[in-house]
Amino acid sequence: MIKYCVRGTKRWWPVFLLVLAGLGSQPGCGLFSIRAPVEPPPGEKIPRKAFIDPDSVLYNIEVAVRYKSLGVPLYEEALEERFSLVLDPLDVLELGTGVDSLDKTDDTGAQRLIASDAALPDSFYFEFGDVQAERKDTTAFYLDMPYHLYLIDTQGDTIDVICGKADLSMVESQRGAWSLRRWLDKRQDECDVSFGRFHAERAIQTAPRRRW
């Protein structure tokens, strides 16, 4: 539920223009117009990795966001069952709803809505910065991890940038699979909108069943 109040090598991936203009959309709920799902080109698969270490979790989240609707299942898989996205205090204040964090269900729901929102640019490019993990037994931490989400139109022009920093906490399961347990969002002055706020706004506006 919504709660109230290193890596040594940097990877560069091409922008995946998976959703083309003119494919049409279908009516959505609330304030969002939902774009029809798009299948990948024949023979193409999402380039995921096994969740064998903390870096693989970051990689899979990057890929999942870039692939939009097709990447939502991978995004959900990357989050631990007790996952929490904790909003920056200033975002909590400005939102004015009392919401200060999202759990896995609401965060995944927000990602699904963002990925299918026809009002947003067709292509996303998401990347984390180059930060080494601090590991201890079955836990790992990335402190002050920079992130950027570029919203790109069909001409390849960047329309907007969602950015900030986050403290990320990872855990390893008994099966040896790693996942993200906690995202502590840190809003930055040079960024207009943080990832946490981007998700929280969708979660709030598209969950009328809840009392905010």
Identify the structural domains of the chain with CATH numbers, from first to last.
Answer: 3-8+17-42+49-205 (3.10.450.50)
The whole model's pTM is what?
A: 0.79
Among candidate residues 146, 122, 143, the one with its CA nearest the CA of residue 133: 143
Give the dihedral sign, CA 104/105/106/109: positive
* Dihedral-angle region of residue 22 (phi above 0 means left; psi in -120 to 50 means alpha; beta otherwise): left
Among candidate residues 64, 174, 148, the one with its CA nearest the CA of residue 111: 64
- pLDDT at position 10 is 37
Q: How far apart are CA 160 and CA 170, in angstroms?
A: 29
Mean pLDDT by groups of 10 residues along the chain of 212 residues? 38 36 34 41 77 97 94 97 97 92 94 91 93 96 97 89 97 97 96 95 70 46
Give the dihedral sign, CA 2/209/114/198: negative
Q: How many residues are listed for the chain in this entry?
A: 212
pLDDT in tens, 49-63: 999 999 999 999 999
- pLDDT at position 135 is 95
pLDDT in tens, 89-117: 999 999 998 889 999 999 999 999 999 99
In the chain, pLDDT over 70 holds for what percent of residues? 76
